[in-house]
Amino acid sequence: MDIDWVDFLKGMVKPLMATAVVLMAVVLSMVQKLGLATEMVYSIVRAFIQLSVIGFVLQFIFNQKNGGWIIAAYLFMVSVAGYTAGQRAKHVPRGKFIAGASILVGTAITMFLLIVLNVFPFTPRYIIPVAGMMVGNSMTVTGVTMKRLRDDIRIQKNLVETALALGATPRQATHQQVKRALILALSPVLDNAKTVGLISLPGAMTGLIMGGASPLEAIQLQIVVMNMLIGASTVSSIMSTYLCWPTFFSKTYQLESKVFNAE
């Protein structure tokens, strides 16, 4: 992996200069006594280090001919996303595993379709950035779905138990809670698709335009991106509800009290 360190260091000048806006935010936080100044500094330093490291890692992977590096990078992203989403839904038993499995299924199916339909070639330069967008979006949606589903069932515990007592299956008894959780989780993705280009230009489109591509080329890619995000997020969120059900109920179709008693 050959790196022109002179060009790299020159290229880091503008990112460093851009931290001026963060310093402005830090000063405002201190003036308003928000208590966020330290966290802001920590966040931007961590982001700077993480992005710098990942830049070198991607440079290495892009130079490799072995497809195994693509799969390894993808599985790493899914693992981190599953852990993060599971942390959001911390009261869901085996939440990290459920989140990881849901994200894996949703993004893998979507990616497989995109490759089979020849939308993207199976190369690191295309697959890794695309997978990153899908995994990140699915992580957010899956975490919200799992947390909201558990919280809704907890709030309406008596209603669910009454339905179970009358002979309903766990899926029938929690149908409305599942529906609400999915709608809540997927609404931001759908709202973003409705307003894309009207309120702000998305990252993929902006990056292409700033890189010299024509606006028409940029919108073509952005349309593909929006489609794949909706597909991956929907599959992942629905998958998470199916995997949550066995952890919410006992073998005798009763709510697991230890899952819903925790605050």
For the segment 176-207, what is each residue's pLDDT rounded down to a tens digit? 999 999 999 999 989 888 888 777 777 777 87
What global pTM score does this model have? 0.83
Report how far residue 149's alpha carbon sits from residue 188's, in angstroms, rounded to the nearest whole number.
17
| Sequence-ordered strand ranges (E) for the chain | none
Distance of CA 11 to the CA centre of its chain: 29
Least confident of 34-43, 121-130, 252-261: 252-261
Q: Give the torsion through C-alpha atoms of 123, 126, 127, 130, to 10 deg.
A: 180
- The answer to whether residues 128 and 75 touch, using CB atoms and an 8 Å cutoff, is no
pLDDT digits (tens, 9 = 90+) for 116-174: 999 888 888 888 888 999 999 999 999 999 999 999 999 998 999 899 889 888 889 99
Report how far residue 147's alpha carbon sits from residue 98's, in angstroms, rounded to the nearest whole number.
12
- The answer to whether residues 229 and 189 touch, using CB atoms and an 8 Å cutoff, is yes
Phi/psi zone of residue 192: left (φ > 0), alpha (ψ -120 to 50 degrees), beta?
A: alpha
Tell me what the mean pLDDT of segment 51-67 comes to. 82
What percent of the chain stands above pLDDT 70? 96
Report how far residue 243's alpha carbon sits from residue 123's, in angstroms, rounded to the nearest whole number.
32
Helix axes 157-165 and 124-155, enclosed angle (nearest 10): 80
Task: Give the start-to-end residue ranges of the domains of the chain.
Answer: 1-63, 66-260
Report how far residue 224's alpha carbon sits from residue 196's, in angstroms, rounded to the nearest whole number.
13
Residue 204 is encoded by which pair of tokens? 């993929």
- Give the 3-state secondary structure of residue 167: coil
Report how far residue 154's alpha carbon sits from residue 220's, in angstroms, rounded to the nearest whole number.
44
Report how far residue 174's alpha carbon sits from residue 153's, in angstroms, rounded to the nearest whole number.
7
Mean per-residue pLDDT over the chain, rounded = 87
